[in-house]
Chains A and B, each alone.
Chain A
Amino acid sequence: AQTIHQWPVAEIKAVGSPLSLGCTIKGKSSPNLYWYWQATGGTLQQLFYSITVGQVESVVQLNLSASRPKDDQFILSTEKLLLSHSGFYLCAWSLTGRSSDYTFGSGTRLLVI
């Protein structure tokens, strides 16, 4: 069975500090991977997607970056956090992007102070 694991579960970070959020998918070869973000009271927004290892497309510019170093791993990061980065980050996978259903991870709650 496919599993999707996100870490950490929650973080409190200082403005200007670096951030790295991880996501791994087990049991599925070459999935499409996604990062979503929801600000408090806001709507879920897609940040990045990746079709294959080493390839990441940015959807929304939020001074964040993403990388896919392995087929089953997707990393979201920044060198300098902003207050506006606070929110809930979700990783997701799908078989294809066009008409496949998405499965979401358990999320990471980030508070930047």
Chain B
Amino acid sequence: GDQVEQSPSALSLHEGTGSALRCNFTTTMRAVQWFRKNSRGSLINLFYLASGTKENGRLKSAFDSKERYSTLHIRDAQLEDSGTYFCAASSGSFNKLTFGAGTRLAVCP
């Protein structure tokens, strides 16, 4: 079935630095979403992409359906960015969103 491989599983950043999270897909996906888990465990939408790139503040995401990957870039990381980030993608399988395993981000002073 469709699989989403998310990396890294954990990431530690100093304030002010940046890095990228990545999701590789085993099949061609139609769209990707990036979420951040809030303090209650629910998922907050960060980005939805059917193609190309989107930017919102210090976050930027890209999706290449043909090359089967998506990235989430964080720049100038702040303490409040700490948390768990998930990518999820929808494929030709109608009505199914497949999740990556998540990346636990810790931003340190």
Residues of A within 8 A of B35 (CB): 104
- Does more than half of chain A's interface fall in helix, strand or loop, or is it mixed? strand
Indicate if A46 sits at the interface (CB-CB under 8 A): yes
Tell me which of A34, A43, A51, A102 contacts B101 (CB under 8 A).
A43
Contact check, B41 vs A107: say whether CB atoms are below 8 A apart. Answer: yes
Contact check, A105 vs B42: say whether CB atoms are below 8 A apart. Answer: yes
Contact check, B99 vs A43: say whether CB atoms are below 8 A apart. Answer: yes
Q: Which A residue's beta carbon lies closest to that of B43?
A: A104
User: Please, how many residues of chain B have a CB less than 8 angstroms from a CB on the other chain?
Assistant: 23
Residues of B within 8 A of A32 (CB): 95
Contact check, B43 vs A90: say whether CB atoms are below 8 A apart. Answer: yes
Residues of B within 8 A of A88 (CB): 41
Which B residues form the contact surface with A (CB < 8 A)?
Answer: 30-31, 33, 35, 40-43, 45, 48, 50, 86, 88, 90, 94-102
Which A residues form the contact surface with B (CB < 8 A)?
Answer: 32, 34, 43-46, 49, 51, 57, 59, 88, 90, 92, 97-99, 101-107, 109
**11 pairs, CB–CB < 8 Å, chain A vs chain B:** A32-B95, A43-B102, A45-B99, A46-B97, A90-B43, A98-B90, A101-B31, A102-B33, A102-B45, A104-B43, A104-B45
